Amino acid sequence: MQRAILIVASLLMSLGISSSPSLAEITGRASVVDGDTIEIRHERIRLFGIDAPEGKQRCYIKGKSWRCGQHSAFALADLIGRAWVRCIEKDRDRYGRIVAVCFLGQKNVNAWMVREGWAVAYRHFSRDYIAEERESSAAKRGLWQGEFIMPWDWRRGKRLAATQEQRQPQRRCLIKGNINRSGQRIYHVPGGEYYNRTRINTSKGERWFCTEAEAQAAGWRRSRR
């Protein structure tokens, strides 16, 4: 039997026909499903070697949540636009989807998503885009602007713990008592120039106030800007 298989394989090769199943190459206009999945001609394609936040996933910048999964999908949609995308199959996932590296001309879409910080290197399956992830992390692009849970952990139910800044607005104490590098105690009110960029670290003695009178009584002065 083994000899018969080898004879058939040899005959196919002599005719220029591979005995192994060929990998698909799909080209066409793409619609974006999420930050790591597109669809071309009704064929769902998962971008190889990368993982993007889920559509409902939220990330945090200075304690404020934002829909990073949605922004990741928007970034991919903006990149692709109406251009034709060429995808080269690498594998099939457990859902039967094609897993592929996709290109816009010579631009590697998978690499671009990681380099711009809208996806991360999916190390469990590939180490191809680790350099791009390091670059985006160092430059604080996309997801790296703040805090986020890795997509594979988020799908398992892991979430960031609520921070002091996230909990405080629920108590309506919104005034931020900050201690600057010179040791001066300055408070910032909502709408102030530095309010959004100021983070409170209670371990340094910084605190929240419910009223300006409370802040002034505690020895803080109002920011001039």
Active site residues: 46, 54, 97
Q: Which two tokens stand for residue 93?
A: 């996932």
Which string of DSSP letters, residue by residue, matches 118-164?
SSEE-TTT--TTHHHHHHHHHHT-GGGGSB---HHHHHTT--PPPPH
Q: For the CA atoms of the chain, what is the radius of gyration? A: 26
User: Helix, strand, coil: what percent of the chain each, to 5?
Assistant: 30, 30, 40
Q: Which two tokens stand for residue 166?
A: 């996230």
* 201, 207, 210, 215 alpha-carbon torsion, rounded to 10°: -140
Largest CA distance in the chain: 93
Of 88, 68, 77, 70, nearest to 23 (Cα)?
88
In this structure, what are the phi and psi dihedrals at residue 85, rounded to the nearest 5 degrees? Answer: -110, 140
Burial of 150 (C-beta count, 10 Å sphere; 0-12/13-18/19+): middle
Question: Is residue 91 classed as helix, strand or coil in its secondary structure?
Answer: strand
